[in-house]
Amino acid sequence: MSEDPDASAIAPSPSGRLLCGGCAPHDACRLGVEIADARDDVVRFEVVCPRSWHGGPGVAHGGWTAAVFDDVLSVVALRVEPRLVTKSLAVSYLRPVPVERPVQVLARIDRHVGRQWEVSAEMTLAGTALATGRAELRTRHPHHFARHEAWLARQTLSPNGSHAES
Ligand SMILES: CCCCCCCCCCCCCCCC(=O)SCCNC(=O)CCNC(=O)[C@H](O)C(C)(C)COP(=O)(O)OP(=O)(O)OC[C@H]1O[C@@H](n2cnc3c(N)ncnc32)[C@H](O)[C@@H]1OP(=O)(O)O
């Protein structure tokens, strides 16, 4: 790879959105997440689950809900620290989330010490909680991606398709 992978950081897209690497070329969040309001350690999001992410009839797949929490919980800290990874993510599914219906998500930084961040969020519809999420984030080490690439390069693919350290 010619570019330094560790130089990568989330920067606003041409339309001013914060987007992950997969969504940046589309200049739109494919999960349906939009920032509505941001102040201090709290960010409010408007989120609409696209029908393509439905699990049961008319309701969101749980993986969509988890991915939304991964995004919003990162965004709330990314405003302070642009180089983060998720260490753990816990989601409580309280009620089904309807597709194609705006829901609100409020995310906040609960604790930040050194490289360690604790963040939480609640997804609501008309004031009723649908799901909650909680994550531990880490500020990336300076060579996080380079270290990963070096580790991956040491893995060899055997004829049966399994990996082994070389
Ligand atoms: C319009 C509005 C739209 C809004 C909406 C858009 C949102 C637009 C923003 C999107 C934002 C998305 C944001 C998603 C954010 C994620 O989802 S990031 C992807 C998921 N997370 C990961 O891949 C992290 C994988 N895990 C790790 O790298 C490591 O476990 C952690 C988390 C760095 C460990 O951190 P730690 O607990 O502080 O421990 P640490 O001492 O650093 O490392 C422990 C051990 O882990 C291993 N390790 C750590 N780092 C590495 C590494 N880089 N390589 C290999 N091994 C490693 C080592 O074995 C290390 O032990 P040592 O060899 O150093 O002794």
Residue 34 and residue 50 in contact, taking contact as beta carbons nearer than 8 Å: no
pLDDT in tens, 151-165: 999 998 777 777 777
pLDDT in tens, 34-82: 999 999 889 999 999 999 999 999 999 999 999 999 999 999 999 899 8
ipTM: 0.87
Q: Counting beta carbons within 10 angstroms of the beta carbon of residue 18, is it exposed (0 to 12), middle (13 to 18) or buried (19 or more)?
A: buried
Task: List the residue whose alpha carbon is closest to atom 38 of ligand 1.
Answer: 138
Cβ–Cβ contacts within 10 Å for residue 166, how many? 8
Best residue for ligand 1 mutational test, from 23, 46, 47, 71 (most atoms within 8 Å of Cβ): 71
What DSSP state is assigned to residue 133? E
Reply yes or no on domain 10-140 having CATH 3.10.129.10: yes
Q: How confident is the model at residue 9 (pLDDT cuts 50, 70, 90)?
A: low
Q: Domain boundaries in the chain?
A: 10-140
Per-residue confidence (pLDDT) for residue 2, from 0 to 100? 46
Distance CA 32, CA 113 (A): 31
